[in-house]
Structures are given as structure tokens and as C-alpha cells.
Homo-oligomer: A and B are copies of this chain.
Amino acid sequence: CGAAMAQSSVAVYGRVDLSLGHLKEQGKASQSRMFDGNLTSTRLGFRGTEDLGGGLKASFKMEHRFDADTGASEDPMWKGESTLSLSGGFGELKLGRSSTIYDEVRGLSASSSVFDSAFTPSSNGVFGSGGDYSNRFNNKITYVLPSMGNLYGGVEYALDEDPDAKADMIGAKLGYKSGPLNLAMGLQQEKGKENDYLMVAAAYDFGVASVSGGYNVRNGNAASGDDNEFTVGVNVPLGALQLSAGFASGKTEKAGATSSKASGFGLGATYTLSKRTKLYGGVRSHQVKDGSGTKTADARLFAVGVRHDF
């Protein structure tokens, strides 16, 4: 580790997020733990962009995910993303493994719901109680539309590469962003699981507070039924401090009858120590009941921690 690396083609970046807290799940003993990634997942990445001239660019991104509390790699090695893309006036064409564009609409719906973190109820136990979506796909071709005034969007397709399985995925997103308002709709059709997801999400920044929310529908098959889910959240900035609360609820119906109901809430705060470092704390609680009202799952999480970007 010496002097002046001559290199513009690759940037090394990452984030480490560790916290201490408590998790209590139904049927398990209460547990004090060190957690990785309660605000956002720990990662190490490599990325770069080359200007090809004529407004065309080539970019790559490889993002490793791991658990800083144990030093263990998540699976696969480049779980976060491994993509190559060409972009220009036509928009962006991206190949490889990455998050789905429907997942971005899920993110928008929770953007002010306890920082879209492990304290956010919608993405931790409430949504998906009837069959959860895959937030990333391998072998994916994503086309992102070019800038079109206030509109944005994209379409994507993931090859399943198993001639017998028919587990392709089709996704689409359309959004409208104007000043403080961000509205988007996303769909994801997972043929392997016979699940179609459709979400409408919105976020609005009032200045003294920002709010976000969304409504999500899953259409499954006879065995998995259908889900109807919604979430709302609010973030309140107070200087270096930010307070947030979120609520989410959902139910699954099979053959016209409710087979499960889930709901939960989260509360959290972040404190900005510097541009790259935040302290945080939060709680989350959710429960799932079956059609007869019997509780089938619950969890309560409490943690305080620190997140550092590099």
C-alpha cells in the first residue's frame, strides 16, 4: 500500500453496517445478537464507466455482499449485482444479474417507511406472506428508457436457461417524477412460481416530512392464492437527526376465503455523524394470522448500530 495508483477505470466502493440488538420470534427463545445490515446490507463493489464517444457509454458493476458480523460471503459471490451495460440517447441496455425494476417500485413505496431497512414492516414479514417475489434475477436483459421529461421506466426479461422449467421472468416499470412527487407502477411476472406481482407506489416530499406508500397485488395459482397488500410511511428530518415510522398490512385469499392476514409497524431514527457515517436505531414488530385468526408467526426486532460508506 504505497503511492499514486494511476487508474480511472475502476472505483472500489462499499458499505459496512453493524448493529447490536434483540430479536424475538414466535416459538423461539429471545436472542441478543450482533446484526449485519439492519439499515442497509454490507457490501464491497467495483464499478466503472468508459466514454465510447458519440454520447455512448459502457459501464460495469460488480457488487459482493457479505455479513460483517461473521465475515461470511453471501451466495453467490456477486449477489448484489454483476452487470455490463451500454447507454446513450436510446436509453440503457443492461445485461447480467441485478435487482428487478419491480423491486425499485417496492423500494419507492418504502422509501419513507423507516428508511427502507430491516425496520420497514412491508419488506420484512408483512408483504409476501402468500408467496414472496425474487428481488434479483440471473441472466437478465434490462432496457431502461431514456430521459423523457417527467416520465421514466423500463422493461426487462430474465432467461431461465432450463428448457424444462419455463421459469422466465418479465418485468416492467413506468414512473412520473415532478418536483416533490414520485409516482410509479411496476409489474413482475415470475413464470416458475406462477406469480404475477403488480404494485403502485408514490412518494411525496413536503419538506418538513416526506411520505411514501404503495399498494401491491399478487395473483398466484390455486395453491398459493392471491395477495392484497399496502404500506405507508413517513420520514421527518430534524437537522442531523431523522425520525421515521411505517405501517404495512396484507392478506392472502384462496378460493374466495382469507387464508392469512399480516400486519406490522416500524419506528426508527438515524443520526448523521458525517457524510459517510450514520448512527441508527429502530424497532419493528409484525404478526401473521391464519384464516381462523390464530397467530402463525410474529417477530419483534430492536437494534442500534452504525453504518459506514466508502
Contacts and interface: CB of A to CB of B under 8 A. Distances in A.
A310 interface: yes
A7 B16 contact: no
Max count, chain B CB within 10 A of own CB: residue among A52, A72, A306, A310: A310
Contacts of A297: none
B82 A71 contact: yes
Given A66-B82, A76-B70, A11 B7 contact: yes
Given A77-B71, A78-B71, A310 B1 contact: yes
Secondary structure dominating the interface of A: strand
B9 A310 contact: yes
Contacts of A70: 76, 82, 97, 138-139
B77 A310 contact: no
Taking the full assembly, how many copies of this chain does it contain?
Answer: 3
Contact of A34 (B51, B78, B159, B308): B159
Given A4-B8, A34-B139, A34-B159, A96 B69 contact: yes
Contacts of A274: 50-53, 58
A296 interface: no
Contacts of A306: 58, 84, 86, 95
A147 interface: no
A241 interface: no
Contacts of A29: 163-164
A93 to B, nearest CB: 9
A95 B18 contact: yes
Interface string A47-75: 01011110010101010001111111100
A181 interface: no
Given A5-B8, A12-B46, 19 more contacts: A2-B310, A4-B7, A6-B8, A9-B309, A16-B62, A20-B95, A31-B163, A32-B159, A44-B46, A52-B273, A52-B277, A58-B306, A60-B308, A62-B66, A66-B82, A67-B82, A69-B82, A70-B82, A70-B139
Interface of A: 1-14, 16-18, 20, 28-34, 44, 46, 48, 50-53, 56, 58, 60, 62, 66-73, 76-84, 86, 95-97, 138-141, 159, 161, 163-164, 273-274, 276-277, 306, 308-310
